[in-house]
Structure 1
Amino acid sequence: MHPATPDLSFGDLTPEFMLDALDAAGLRADGRLLQLNSFENRVLQVHLEDGRVAVAKFYRPARWSDAQILEEHAFAAELAAAEVPVAAPWTLADGTTLFHFQGQRMAVTPRQGGRGPELEDPEVLRWIGRLLARLHVVGRERPFAERLHWTSAAPARTARDWLMANDAIPPEIAPGWDDAAQRCLDAIQAAFDGLPDLRLTRLHGDCHPGNILWTPDRGPHFVDLDDAVMGPVVQDLWMLLPGEPDAARLQLHALLDGYEQVAEFDDRELRLIEPLRTLRMIHHSAWLARRWGDPAFPVAFPWFGTPNYWLDQTAKLREQLEAMKPKDAPPALARDEDFVDFDGDGFA
């Protein structure tokens, strides 16, 4: 069962419309457009008549306010000024980085090529750790005023409330899922409450491997700050770790080995990895349900919303309750001060 959702199909974003928008923004395209992978927005690679290659992003309506988007753009500009490799939006014909055209909003960045990082390589992880630390050093200079805060159970609670209010879960499964979700919300909140002096930072917010590109000469760089938030820095680390505990522990050591060459890391934040993972699970289910009116989503996620999906989610939330039980740090990810050096062939 899926709730009634609005038409979010971007139906008016024809190639002609996008070329007209670019032209109005002062960018003459030569007609070569390539749609890039993106579910949340519509993103395409554009060849310009002056020889440059750009990436144009058309924002999903009503997701972010103009103020939230411009705050993200300002953060990207700060990072670029600090020589943190990130694709910062260009200033367009109207003197802003967020261009309005016939009801749509667009930003344009330079294309930055690369491939996915080899996260099994300790040196790659160290380099990414240093890059994240540089991002966070800039992020600590001032807070976000408009962007979301991932500093409590609130984002997951909002997601839970929406799912239940919109009958997104089959009625025979909803009580069991909701019981597990409510208990998870309490555990998430307790984890944050246990760190009352937690230092908050402007973050990338969605730092999974798909949002980091790698080139042999320049190393890693970020390509998308669309989900930038305020929160603990560990939010930008945990999604780079594999699910297998022993491998996650080894990769965490490499990431933090690089990170702490540039900035301090509060080891207490390791307690937030499982709460943040759980928060994202609940948030992700609501994201899929909210977007179901976009025809791209049923095609890409045909398994979503089935009874098996919700039964599986209920079981996973119950597993997360066990993982979130208070402890000094998740055992598989606890820091071991005798295990900090790595050789060039792997972990020693």
Structure 2
Amino acid sequence: MNDQAFTFQTLHPDTIMDALFEQGIRVDSGLTPLNSYENRVYQFQDEDRQRFVVKFYRPQRWSVEQIQEEHQFSLDLLADEVPVAAPLKFNHQTLLTHQGFYFAVFPSLGGRQFEADNIDQMEWVARYLGRIHQTGNKNRFIARPTIGIQEYLLEPRQLFETATLIPAGLKAAFLAATDGLINAVISRWDENVKMLRLHGDCHAGNILWRDGPLFVDLDDARMGPAIQDLWMLLNGDKAEQRMQLETIIEAYEEFTPFDSDEIALIEPLRAMRFVYYLAWLIRRWDDPAFPRNFPWLTGEDYWRNQISTFVEQVKVLQEPPLQLTPMY
């Protein structure tokens, strides 16, 4: 796959329309782009006035086997009556191809934004996360990766060494802050934690609300600890997060037991997300969509703020982890 395909410069509207036509879908509306930087995702309506979403996967990111595992997990969840956006089958296949691009078609399932500060909604989401992990425990990913130090910290650190986006005058300070954060995470990371199939990126933006939660975008599904799908729901100060976490775990355990030792992984996972996110931005910088949507990456102030964020996170990692209220 050439570089132009990697950055989607060869993915034209006619290419998309032809790909859908090959599957028997006649687009009767324009292609409305949806918010996605990693892939290219469009909503459309067919001649029967049914709405769909088509997702073109970024070349060179996932292998065929990895995408198929994502699709199978979605279908497993759907079979277990978990409300999730799962790909449709065409001639018994969910993963389709056209001119070197892999793509999938989904039903368009609208909804409003999940309210992260709504305790009732949070309880409902937590119950379904318990069910997602119940399904996730039934099998394992073989091709998709596992959350860990190598992918989330060490590989990004190597990338930072040669990254031209990081201002030369700040490179040494940034690398030192990165090393300090990596060491702090390693000291807190538990290599023996139980791993299961996860949504992987379960923040509020990937949850819609339509008479209950609807989980979308399993593109980052992978093996990892259960707490990975819970901690991104937390917000506010420590007291608020403690109350939210207690609510989440109580609802979650209606379907799946939770190992409270995993709470100590919240801040390490947050730190890993900081580092991994920066590496992702650097890796995608050749895609014209990234300089257009993240112009501040070329400014020194942004990287100074990242250094401060890393230094502050080290201090957080040195503090005792979040503690639940003791039960008597």
TM-score normalized by the length of structure 2: 0.94
Cα offsets for 1:260-283 (capped at 9, x unmatched): 121111111111111101101011
How many residue pairs get aligned? The number is: 325
Task: Work out whether residues 153 and 188 of structure 1, in 8 Å CA contact, stay in contact via their aligned partners in 2.
Answer: no
Cα offsets for 1:98-117 (capped at 9, x unmatched): 11101111101111111111
Identity across aligned pairs (percent)?
42
Task: Work out whether residues 26 and 92 of structure 1, in 8 Å CA contact, stay in contact via their aligned partners in 2.
Answer: no
The equivalent residue for 1:304 is 297
Quickly say closer, same or farther: Cα 1:305–1:278, change in 2 above 3 A: farther
Task: Work out whether residues 160 and 175 of structure 2, in 8 Å CA contact, stay in contact via their aligned partners in 1.
Answer: no
The equivalent residue for 1:107 is 104
Secondary structure of the 2:143 match is coil
**Match of residue 137, structure 2, among 125, 135, 140:** 140
The equivalent residue for 1:118 is 115
Q: CA offset at residue 12 of structure 1?
A: 2.4
User: Is 1:198 equivalent to 2:193 in the alignment?
Assistant: yes
Indicate the structure whose relative CO is greater, using CA pairs within 8 Å and at least 6 residues apart. 1
The equivalent residue for 1:90 is 88
**Match of residue 51, structure 2, among 40, 43, 53:** 53
Whole-angstrom CA distance in 2 between matches of 1:115 and 1:261: 26
Cα offsets for 1:228-248 (capped at 9, x unmatched): 011001111111111432222
Q: Greater shift after overlay, 166-175 or 220-229?
A: 166-175
Whole-angstrom CA distance in 2 between matches of 1:197 and 1:163: 28
The equivalent residue for 2:325 is 336
The equivalent residue for 2:161 is 164
Whole-angstrom CA distance in 2 between matches of 1:12 and 1:153: 33
Q: CA offset at residue 173 of structure 1?
A: 1.1
Q: Name the Cα RMSD after superposition.
A: 1.7
Q: Which runs of 5+ in 1 are unaligned?
A: 1-5, 340-348
Secondary structure of the 1:265 match is coil
Quickly say closer, same or farther: Cα 1:103–1:153, change in 2 above 3 A: closer
The equivalent residue for 2:244 is 251
Which letter maps to 1:272? L
Q: Greater shift after overlay, 131-140 or 143-152?
A: 143-152
Secondary structure of the 1:29 match is coil
Q: CA offset at residue 129 of structure 1?
A: 0.5
Which letter maps to 1:206? D
Which letter maps to 1:212? I
Q: CA offset at residue 31 of structure 1?
A: 3.2
Cα offsets for 1:13-72 (capped at 9, x unmatched): 222211110011232222332111111111011212233211100111111111110110
Whole-angstrom CA distance in 2 between matches of 1:86 and 1:150: 22
The equivalent residue for 1:149 is 146
Task: Work out whether residues 151 and 230 of structure 1, in 8 Å CA contact, stay in contact via their aligned partners in 2.
Answer: no
TM-score normalized by the length of structure 1: 0.89
User: Is 1:42 equivalent to 2:40 in the alignment?
Assistant: yes
Larger helix proportion of the pair: 2
